[in-house]
Each structure stands twice: as structure tokens, then as C-alpha cells.
Structure 1
Amino acid sequence: MALRRWLGTRAAALGRRVEPRALSLVAAATAAALLGFFYYPVATVFVDAVVVNGEPTIRPLVSVLTSRFYLVDIFWFTAKQALLSTLASVALGLPGAWVLSRFEFRGRRTLRSLTILPFVLPAIMVAIGFVATFGEAGTLNRALALVGLGPVTLLYTLEAIVIAHAFYNAPLVARVATAAWESVDARAIETARSLGAGPRRAFLDVTLPQLLPAVLVGATLTFVFTFRSFPIVLALGGFQLATVEVFIYDRVLNLAYTEAAALAIVETVVTLGLTYAYLRYEARQQTADRGARPQARRPLWPASWTPWGALTRVGIGAYALVVGVVFVGPVASMLFASVAGPDGGVTLRHYAFLVERQATGASYQVKPLPAIRNSLVFGVGTLLLALPMGTVLAVLSTRRFRGRKVVDALAMAPLAVSGIVVGLGLLRGLVFGVDVGEYRIQATGALAIVAAHAVAAYPFVTRTVAPLLGGLDPRMVESARSLGATRARALLDVELPLVAAGVVAGAAFAFAISIGEFDSTVLLASGSGSYTMPVAVERYLGRRLGPATAMGCVLLVATSLSFVVIDRFGGRWGGA
């Protein structure tokens, strides 16, 4: 009994000593995790490009930067498809932003919530949907055959890649532009109209200047995402339409690590520069005036009829038709292909194939249940790692201290580095092992996969929680501190409970990103026993479309559940 009291006293004394430094200790642990799971692996990739056989050299980089093959066939094609994809995404996203911000109609909030899908839907699933739509036996050619038209071949073309990228990124452009459109001060427009400006002149002089920065931000993010796009290009373009990411993957498969590392350096420099420009703009926006009065939305179906109103509704109807083909078509095609029989009837044979493969498949073959299990286990592991990391960085990003901007930039760096580069670094640095003195530190493929997923996921946790923390009334924290609470206790008892919805949404983001992550996983999965659902989808796609779509539907169910959570608790991502 006395021993128990003594231990309790010692534990309480230790807690009192540790508590004032708790936030610093957790921040240090987060920094150590970032160093081990991101910065060291990426540095390993960069070292591979400038150290060959133990000798420092810049020949690999010079070879990449002076090679016509790399500059024209790889980098120029990558930039061209990214530019075309960006233009297509902006062209599809801006009309949607206009409709969402200027009109009121039933289902508007639901449609706006759907603009977070690019952050939730796995890219390999999108690719499967486009294969099911535009393949030789896809729904497009089935529909054309019904009206007597010949088949259209779009797979393995630049057009297919651009349309798929627009599917993935136009909602992002729409979300950014909608927020900017809704922040335009109605009083400024009213002042311009009172001074004699017509609707067109008021739009050009007042609204458009405030929209352009947001459009440029959406375009910049889209260019970054499509420049380093991997699963969509791999599935719809193959190695004959290889981008930098696909070619890095090809070099890794051929064990040409130095060449892959040199390409990764050049790609990362480009994406880091563009991401830095985006983050600088966003920082300025966060300090902008938030007291604007938004314009009132007009009913989409007004009571009175006017020629201009009728023309507007016809245009919106045409846009809705395009949206249906580009956005609804691929998902519907995947669902249809998973139950379509060769005679046009409904069948469950593709799902039966998955069951049979699970029961009778060889050990080297991809089995569905281990892939589902691995995805769920890795998702939970990612959640346990990324949620505290992202929350700690969200707390730090809302504190004022010297060097905060540097910390913000270092913490957000994973947004600019592709999963292929992170996966290659973890493969070379942790899975292969690193010697530290007389010991060799080596991680299993599963641990490396969870680390890679956490690196990809935690920035979304940070960007979900940080705006909510920054919006809290500082007087509440000051009151808790005046009553004797330490900084850590005030955070746990006051701040985090008030932003619990954002933390839940961040957790859903982390889980969804892990479930859908393909880029790093395809490098780190050591065999069929460690494949995840996205990798299984890609493996099935290389052989039979039906089982691939069936597995894609399973993947869709898992990510849809995450979307429901994000939509319910989404904070800045899912707000109205």
C-alpha cells in the first residue's frame, strides 16, 4: 500500500515536471518522425543522383538536363499534358463555380461537398472508370453501337489522360473559385452599379480581379498534381506515353536507381517552386479582410420568364450534360462493368472470380482478401501516425514564434514531393537498410508503407485542423491559463475539444488517403501478400477488366465511407 502511494506520488511529480514541456516534447517527436520518414528518404534519393560508387559527381544530373530524350520526350511531354490538363480542368471547373456561387437550388450543398472528391477518390479507381468508359468494349462504344456508329479508340492517347485529369482536378478548381466568388463584396459591386457600370462592366472591373488569383491558385495546384500524376498516366497512357513519374517507376523496375534519382531531383525542383508560390498566396489570403458581404444567390428556376434567363438555363443544362459524361460516366461505367456479362446481361461472375482467386489462387497471385485486409490495417496505422503529427503541426502553425514560417514550409513540403520519390527513398533508405555504426537499421515493407502513407496524409490533417484552431477566441485560452492550466492542459481541455469536428475530418482524410495511395505502395509492396486494394486493382487491370472493376467497386465503398465522414465534419474542406 505504501509502495503504491509512493509510486503515485512520484508519477504525479513526474507529470508536473513533464506537462509544461509536453508540447515541446511532442513537437520534437513529430520532427523526428518527419526526419526519419520523409527528409532522410528524400535526401537518400538526392544522394543517389550525385554520389556514384562512393564518388561525388554531377554527371547523372547533367545527363538528364542535356539529353534530348529526357528534355523533349519525357519532361516536355509531362509539361504539355499537365498544361492541357490544367486548361481542361479550369474550363470544366469555372462554370461549376459560377453555378454554385451565384444560384440557389436543391442539392447545391451536396454538389459543393462533392468538390472534395479529388482528395478522397483513389486515382487508380478513376483510371479504372475511364478504361471501363473508353475501352474497346466500354460504355461509350456500347452506346455508339446502339445508334449505328463505329467504335472510338481513346485509351492510350493523350486525350484520355487529359479528360481523366480534368475529372480529378476540375472539382478542385471549382472549390477554390467558388470560395473566391462567394468572398466578393456585394457592396463593391453595388457601388460600381450605382456609378453607372452595367453588369458586364461591374464583373470585369470588380469581380474578375478578385477571381483571377484564386483561378491561378487552382490552376497552379492542378498543374503540380498533373505534372507528377502517376496511376492515371500508367493506366491510360502506359509506358508509350510516359511522364516523369512513370519513367522514374520504369527506371526503378530496371534497377537504374541513379537515373531515377536524377529525374526525381529535377521533378521535385519544379513542383517545390510551384507549391511554394501557392503557399505564399494562401498565407496572404488568410490575412485578408473577411468582412465582405457576399452577393445574394438567385434561384436557378425563377418564377418569371426572361429570354436571358432562359438562355442561361440552356447553357447550364448543356454544362450539366458534359458534367454527366465526364464525371458521372466513369464511375457509373465502373459499376456497370463490374456486373456486366458478355451478352449484355447482369452477372456476378467478376465478383465470383475474386472469391475463387481467394480460395484457389497460387501464393504469388493477387488475392482480394489480403489486399482488403492490408489496406484497412495500413489505413489504421496511417491514422494513428498521421493524426497526431498533423494536429501537432496545426497547433504550431497557429502559434507565434520565431521561425514559424520556416516550420510551416518544412511541414508542408510533402505536398510538393511525389509519392514515387518518397517511396523510392524509403525503399533505398529503410527497406534496404542503413548502417549506423555496427548496427543495421532496416524496416519491413509494411512499416515503410505506413510511413509513406502518413507522410502523404498528415498535411491534410494539418490543413483541416489549423483554420479551426486559428479561429478560436484567444480569451478562452487566456482564461484557462489564468486559472493555472499549463499550455498543454489548455490545449487538451479547451482548444482541441472545440475543434473536434476538424480532427474527425482530418482522421477521415488520413484514412481515405491511405486506402487510395498507389504511388509509393506499388514500390514498397514486397509481394502479393502485402498488396493493397489500389495495387490489386492495377494488377487485375493488366489482365482482365471485369475483376479490376469489381475490386474497384470494393475500393469505392471504402473511400465513400470516408467521404461521408469528411462531409459531415469537414471544417474548411466541407463547409457550406
Structure 2
Amino acid sequence: MGKSNILMRHSFLALWVAFLFLFLFIVLPLTITFGIGDIEKFLDVLKTPSVLSILKFTLIQAVLSTFLAFAAGLPAAYYYSRHNNSLSSLLYYTTYIPFFLPGISMVVGFLVLLGRYGILNNFLSLVGIGRKQFLYSFSAILLGHTFYNSPITVRIVGNALKNLPAEIIEAGKVDGASKIKLFWSLEMPLIVPAVLSSLILTFSYCFTSFAVVLILGGSQYATLEVAIYMYLKLLARPEVAMGLALIQFLFIFAFGFFGTFFESRISLPIGNRIIYKGGLFSSVALLYLLFEWLPVFSGVFGSFYDFRRSRFFFDKIVNLFSAGRVEILGTSILNTIFRSLRLSLIAAFLATAISFIISWSARNSKFENISVRLTSLISISITPAILALGYIIAYRNLPPQMSMVLLYTVVSFPVVINLFHAEMASFDSAIIEAARIDGARFCQILRYIAIPLLKPAIATGFAITFAISMGEFSGSLILGSDRAPTITVAIYRMLSSKHVPEARLLSSLLVIIVLVTIFIINRLSIRVFRSKI
């Protein structure tokens, strides 16, 4: 009975923390935002030709982008799952691109690679073909989404294929089936849940895309997320922005609910991994790696080299940091960088702490799935633009920097809480029970047992939140563009004002800051983990 009462108290703690998080960070601001307007007015707005056109384009580009991203990632996923070599390791690290590397930095990499005087056009001009217009088109949007979201397929589908029991595949070989036939007739049907999960996640990212559409597509294209920003900040029509935000929230929530409902009812078989040597997909995997990493390295190289004038511009680097107040930002670059670091670190602490409390308190209880899945589903259904709109209207007296911290916490929360949820599932509860028998209290168990043993997961969750927060763009542009610009806002402002070298430099600096911080935190977590065993 004592153990049951303890679990019940902890379960209620998880529910209360989850409820307060959802209520204060999401439900209350959105209720106030959509409650102050007339629903019929919102619906009338959605019937206008311009809004219907935006909705139609958002759906079309999301469907096409999802298909292309899946098609590009599937061969790489297969190679990653069936090989254990340096190439498969590189594919694994590539899967971190959509989760860690800032979207706007990747877009800048595409500008360097595909711009009028970019790497590809310089090569075409050199071989006598002539320069082409790759950017500011629908094709550029699809290419950007394929690049940024295909690693999701590699990670989710590749892991599912890797976990398939070798016995099943060997049995298919005995019947004389080729590898291709085995893949389509045996392996693919078994990993349908993973395929659907990757498609749902990819579609959600493409549907709510912001930086790729805004910068690579140009002003003639607008998804719902971009349109919310334009109607709110540029066209001063908040009623249209609220109508678009409402329809986007309902759509993403319904889509996410379907995915969660489906995943909870189907499980994948897991067994010993089967490894192949060589294979026809080696060249395909190499081409995929080139496709994924060329924009990254192009963006870094383009931060100190001018392809149009064929010269280095190290003087721009010196001027950027030696300058005081930058007019287009209203502050200095150093202040902007330190602001981004400060806000991201605070958000990382908040998201990690809240996720840990909910996951730890809810483990092994009947409220576990409710606490974790409900908070995760609602959080993932809220895009940064919608949340920023809610904070502007509901929390208008809140300093923009505080609103941005709340926004970063919500945006990164689904990833972090699912990470902790997975770690708690494999946690040895016998250690906790032994500590309770010895008279240890809840806080003592957390301090001396749970936190030390889960430090690697805590450090990883902290790093993920920090990376997501540093690269967040749309919410930062809406909330802090005027009074508290972040580094992503500074990059966009400089691109828009033709300060291209400075924008490239800041973009590369952002990537370096994120990668170095993640590396340091993970190294520290590994060191702590090894010291405990």
C-alpha cells in the first residue's frame, strides 16, 4: 500500500506539472488570443481567395516535399541499416541535421551554393554552360525541404530496418528472394509504423516551414507560417493572422493525434541486426552524403570568401565585431550574440527541468502516457508563429525576452520529454526501491540516485534544447525583431539589407556555437557517466 500511495502522489505531481506547463505556456495565451475575436470573422477570413491560395500552396508543397524527402532518404536509410562501416557512421551523424543545425544557417548555405554567383553557377560558367537561376522558385523550396527533412527518414526508417530480426530476412533468402524483393515484399511491410511516423513528422515540418520558404522561395510564395508573420508584422492585419493560426493549429493537432494514435497500437519486431558487405547502394549513399553536407560546408566557406569577386573578405569579420550599434538591428552584433546565448541557456534549463520532473514522476504509473503524450502532442501542434502571436496578444506586458524563453521551451519540449520518457522506461526501479527501504526520501533519491545516473540523458536534453533555441527563427522574428533581435533575426536582417558577407559570417558562427556547445556538453556527460561506473 505504501508503494502504491507513493506512485499515486508522484503521478499527481506529474499531472499537475504537465497541467501548469500546458496552461501557462500554451492554453491560456491561445485561449485569450482566439477568445477575443469572433470565430465567424475568422472563418470569413479563411474564405477569401488569397487565404485559400495560401492554404492550397501550403498543402501542395508539403505533400511534394514529403514525397521527395522520403524518396531521397530511403536508399540512405537502407544502406545505414545494413552496413557497419565509416560510411554508415557518416549517415548516422547526418541525421542530426534537422534536429541540431539551425534552419536559417542551412538556407544561407544554399544561397552560397546555388546563388547567382555561387559555387554551382561558377562551375557551370567555367565549363561553358552559363549561369542558371536556381533560387527564388518553387523548385528551390522543394530542394531545401528535401535537404533538411530527408535525414528524418534515414534516422527513423533506418533504425526500424536495423532492428528487424535477422532470422526473418535469412528465411526469405532461403526461399531464393533477392535483396530488392526482400526489401519490398518482406521488410517494408514490417516497418510500416516507422514509415508512417517519418512521413507524419516530415509532413509536419514541411507544412509549418518558415525559413526555407521565406528566403529560398521569395516573396511570391508563402506557407501558413510565413503568412502569419506577414499579416501580423508587415501588413498589420492581426485578424487574418489569427484566422490562419487557428486553421494551422487545428490541422497540425489533428495530424499529430492521428500519428500518435496509430503508433501506440503497432509495435515493431526487434532482433539481432543483419550486416551486408559492399552493395550497390554505396554510391547512392555517397551521393546522399554529398547532397547533405555540401550546403553545410558551402555556408562555412562562404563566410569568408566572396565568390562573385573571387577574393577573401576577412576585413568584414573585423568590421562586424569592432562596430558598435548596427542600425538595422538597433544594437551591436556582440549584444545580439550574447542575448541569443543567454535566452537559449535559460530555455534549455527550463525545458530540461520540466521534462525531467514530468517523466520521472509519471514513470510506472497509470498517468504516464497521459502526462507525456498529451503535453508532447499539444506542444508539437503549436508552431512558433502561432505561439508568438499568442504571447503578443495575451502577454503583451511581458518583456519580449521572457516571451522568447517561454517560446523556446515549448518548441523544444516534445523532443526532450520523449527522450526522458525513453530513458525512464529502461531505468532500474530496484535501485529506487532499495533506497526507499533504507529510508531515503523523494528529494534524496533524485539528488543522489536519479540525477547522477541520468546525467548523460539530462546533458543530451539540455544540448538539444539549446540547439533548437539558438536556431529558432520565426518566433524570434515576431517577438524580438524590434526590441530584442537574436542571431537568427540578425542573419535575416543582414540578408534583406544586402549585407550578405556579414550574414554568411553570422550564419557560420551560429553553426559553430551550436556544434561546439553540443560537443562539450556531450563530452562532459560521457565523462560523468564513466566516473559513475
Q: TM-score, normalised by structure 2?
A: 0.90
2:313 corresponds to: 347
Contact 2:317–2:505 (Cα < 8 Å) also in 1: yes
Looking at structure 1, the residues matched to 424 and 367 of structure 2 have their Cα atoms a distance apart, in angstroms, of 19
2:236 corresponds to: 255
Are 2:169 and 1:194 equivalent residues in the alignment?
Answer: no
Looking at structure 2, the residues matched to 547 and 472 of structure 1 have their Cα atoms a distance apart, in angstroms, of 47
- Among 27, 34, 42, the alignment partner of 1:60 is 42
What SS class does the counterpart of residue 424 from structure 1 fall into? helix
Instruction: Identify if the C-alpha distance between structure 1 residues 411 and 203 changes in structure 2 by more than 3 Å, giving closer, same or farther.
Output: closer
Post-superposition CA distance 1:196-236 (Å, at most 9, x none): 55545433332121133212211111111110011111111
Contact 1:105–1:299 (Cα < 8 Å) also in 2: no
Contact 1:115–1:174 (Cα < 8 Å) also in 2: yes
Looking at structure 2, the residues matched to 84 and 554 of structure 1 have their Cα atoms a distance apart, in angstroms, of 32
What SS class does the counterpart of residue 335 from structure 1 fall into? helix
1:94: how far off? 0.8
1:538 corresponds to: 492
Instruction: Identify if the C-alpha distance between structure 1 residues 496 and 466 changes in structure 2 by more than 3 Å, giving closer, same or farther.
Output: farther
1:172 corresponds to: 152
**Could you tell which deviates more after superposition, 403-412 or 203-212?**
403-412
Looking at structure 1, the residues matched to 430 and 147 of structure 2 have their Cα atoms a distance apart, in angstroms, of 44
Contact 2:103–2:471 (Cα < 8 Å) also in 1: yes
- Among 254, 261, 264, the alignment partner of 1:283 is 264
1:118: how far off? 0.7
- Among 205, 218, 228, the alignment partner of 2:198 is 218
Instruction: Identify if the C-alpha distance between structure 1 residues 299 and 404 changes in structure 2 by more than 3 Å, giving closer, same or farther.
Output: closer
- Among 17, 28, 34, the alignment partner of 1:46 is 34
Are 2:299 and 1:299 equivalent residues in the alignment?
Answer: no
Q: Identity percentage over the alignment?
A: 26
2:218 corresponds to: 238
2:429 corresponds to: 474
What are the ranges of 5 or more consecutive residues in structure 1 without an aligned counterpart?
1-17, 301-308, 433-441, 572-576
1:128: how far off? 1.0
Contact 2:412–2:464 (Cα < 8 Å) also in 1: yes
What SS class does the counterpart of residue 117 from structure 2 fall into? coil
Looking at structure 1, the residues matched to 35 and 84 of structure 2 have their Cα atoms a distance apart, in angstroms, of 55
Contact 1:102–1:298 (Cα < 8 Å) also in 2: yes
Contact 2:329–2:490 (Cα < 8 Å) also in 1: no
What are the ranges of 5 or more consecutive residues in structure 2 without an aligned counterpart?
1-5, 527-533
Larger Rg: 1
1:278: how far off? 2.3
1:396: how far off? 4.2
One-letter code aligned to 2:148: Y
Contact 2:362–2:371 (Cα < 8 Å) also in 1: no
1:461 corresponds to: 416
Post-superposition CA distance 1:369-417 (Å, at most 9, x none): 1110101110121122111111122224533125842652134311121
Q: TM-score, normalised by structure 1?
A: 0.84
**Could you tell which deviates more after superposition, 257-266 or 35-44?**
35-44
1:154: how far off? 1.6
Contact 2:352–2:462 (Cα < 8 Å) also in 1: yes
Post-superposition CA distance 1:113-171 (Å, at most 9, x none): 33122111111111111111111111111111111111111211011111111111111
Looking at structure 2, the residues matched to 34 and 479 of structure 1 have their Cα atoms a distance apart, in angstroms, of 34
1:459: how far off? 2.1
2:355 corresponds to: 390
Instruction: Identify if the C-alpha distance between structure 1 residues 141 and 407 changes in structure 2 by more than 3 Å, giving closer, same or farther.
Output: closer
**Could you tell which deviates more after superposition, 183-192 or 228-237?**
183-192
1:9 corresponds to: none
